[in-house]
């Protein structure tokens, strides 16, 4: 089989739908990211914006126990965000969602970080039977974004904590430097589509869902525009270099790193390292490594050498993760092999709230056109 054409600048290739190459062989994904980086504020402007943001967070949190929420997964981006918040003199509440898949490294990193930074930690533990049944329903549906459940629950948990403590700012580890390449169409699904998640579970689930948190577009609009809670990509207010951040966390705060992004969860590791490439033809390392290339944090040769390795650097860990995931979800080897052999089904085969979101987006643009803002 002919290998897919690859961008001459980053690692994106023709496995990404709608990729277009220019005459020099550079793709639309990295060109768009370069344009985004070029439009970002200068270092001086960024520092000024950070000072303004920190002042606003402090003023909004005056008289309250906490002035911001920082969601922590045990990964480098969220861990560094928490340290930066403390270093800026803020009073964060660290919020963690435990969906039953934390690796030992993730648990170690979170416990060590909040202890050394003297930060309160609030952990929401999802009912495992509900989570298992929802995950199994996504397997039965053959849709790509099984991680939608975790990401939606994480959003719901962070915003719920903000409402509970009257906090107006959620400082996120999401950032342009390592995540600035736009996700190709079909590689994931909206994390705000609770309608889609519930519809999939209604069709394929067995256990009533009473407590599993999910976050919808309507909830986001209420939190953002009525309750005035801000979701801030905090790392974009700094000159964020991931390698330097990880070295600092490791040397100063006892952080233990992972080989690839989002490998702090056993399920996410197995999903990204095995299920996505083998069943859906998606290798998210192309996205993550390309972002580091474009932001100048890794050479293309270095990234390509990493990409040519197996997504699981340790074959024994791959074997152990497969055994663990199948046993925890209640799949036999034959059932899992049958799942892997079935063709994917798009999320659009189930009801969705994306249509409502698109209508609202069009209405907002039209309103801006009328009032000139």
pLDDT bin (cut points 50, 70, 90) of residue 2 is confident
Q: Does residue 369 carry a pLDDT above 90?
A: no
- Could you tell me which of 159, 166, 161 has the C-alpha nearest to residue 192? 159
Least confident of 155-169, 225-239, 244-258: 244-258
Rg (CA), the chain: 21
Q: What are the residues whose beta carbons fall under 8 Å from the beta carbon of 279, sequence distance 6 or more? A: 339, 340, 344
Give the pLDDT mean for 115-143. Answer: 97
Q: Does residue 47 carry a pLDDT above 80?
A: yes
Largest CA distance in the chain: 64
For the stretch 230-249, pLDDT in tens is: 999 999 999 999 999 999 99
pLDDT bin (cut points 50, 70, 90) of residue 373 is very low
What is the per-residue pLDDT for 92? 98
For the stretch 190-229, pLDDT in tens is: 999 999 999 999 999 999 999 999 999 999 999 999 999 9
Kindly provide the b/e burial profile for residues 97-110, where b requires at least 16 CB atoms within 10 angstroms of the residue's own CB: bbbbbbbebbeebb
> What Cα–Cα distance (Å) separates residue 198 from each residue in 123, 135, 193, 207?
24, 11, 9, 12
For the stretch 74-126, pLDDT in tens is: 999 999 999 999 999 999 999 999 999 988 888 899 999 999 999 999 999 99
Q: How far is CA 153 from the centre of its chain?
A: 12
DSSP code of residue 265? B
Prediction pTM value: 0.91
- Could you tell me which of 223, 216, 165 has the C-alpha nearest to residue 194? 216
- Could you tell me which of 249, 135, 268 has the C-alpha nearest to residue 197? 135
- Whether residue 347 contacts residue 193, with contact meaning beta carbons closer than 8 Å, is answered with yes
């Amino acid at each position: 089989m002919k290998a897919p054409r690859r961008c001459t600048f980053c690692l994106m290739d023709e496995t990404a739908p709608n990729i277009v190459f220019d005459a020099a062989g550079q793709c639309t994904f990295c060109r768009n990211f370069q344009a985004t980086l070029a439009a970002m504020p200068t270092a001086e402007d960024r520092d000024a914006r950070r000072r303004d943001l920190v002042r606003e967070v402090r003023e909004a949190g005056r008289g309250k126990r906490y002035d911001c929420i920082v969601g922590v997964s045990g990964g480098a981006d969220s861990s560094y965000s928490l340290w930066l918040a403390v270093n800026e003199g803020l009073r964060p509440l660290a919020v963690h969602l435990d969906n039953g898949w934390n690796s030992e490294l993730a648990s170690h990193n979170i416990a060590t970080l909040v202890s050394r930074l003297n930060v309160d930690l609030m952990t929401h533990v999802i009912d495992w039977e509900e989570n298992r049944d929802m995950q199994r329903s996504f397997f039965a549906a053959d849709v790509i974004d099984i991680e939608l459940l975790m990401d939606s629950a994480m959003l719901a948990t962070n915003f719920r904590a903000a409402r509970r403590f009257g906090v107006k700012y959620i400082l996120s580890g999401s950032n342009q430097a390592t995540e600035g390449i736009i996700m190709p169409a079909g590689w994931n699904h909206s994390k705000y589509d609770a309608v889609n998640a519930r519809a999939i579970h209604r069709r394929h689930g067995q256990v009533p869902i009473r407590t599993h948190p999910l976050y919808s577009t309507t909830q986001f609009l209420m939190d953002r525009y009525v309750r005035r809670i801000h979701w801030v990509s905090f790392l974009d207010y700094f000159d964020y270099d991931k390698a330097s951040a990880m070295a600092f966390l490791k040397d100063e705060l006892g952080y233990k790193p992972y080989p690839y992004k989002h490998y702090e969860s056993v399920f996410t590791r197995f999903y990204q390292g095995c299920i996505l490439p083998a069943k859906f033809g998606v290798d998210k390392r192309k996205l993550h490594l390309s972002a580091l290339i474009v932001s100048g944090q890794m050479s293309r040769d270095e990234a390509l050498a990493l990409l040519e390795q197996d997504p699981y650097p340790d074959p024994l860990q791959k074997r152990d993760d497969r055994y663990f995931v199948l046993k925890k979800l209640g799949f036999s080897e034959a059932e899992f092999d049958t799942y892997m052999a079935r063709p994917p089904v798009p999320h659009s085969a189930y009801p969705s709230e994306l249509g409502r979101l698109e209508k609202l987006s069009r209405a907002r643009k039209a309103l801006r056109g009328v009032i000139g803002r």
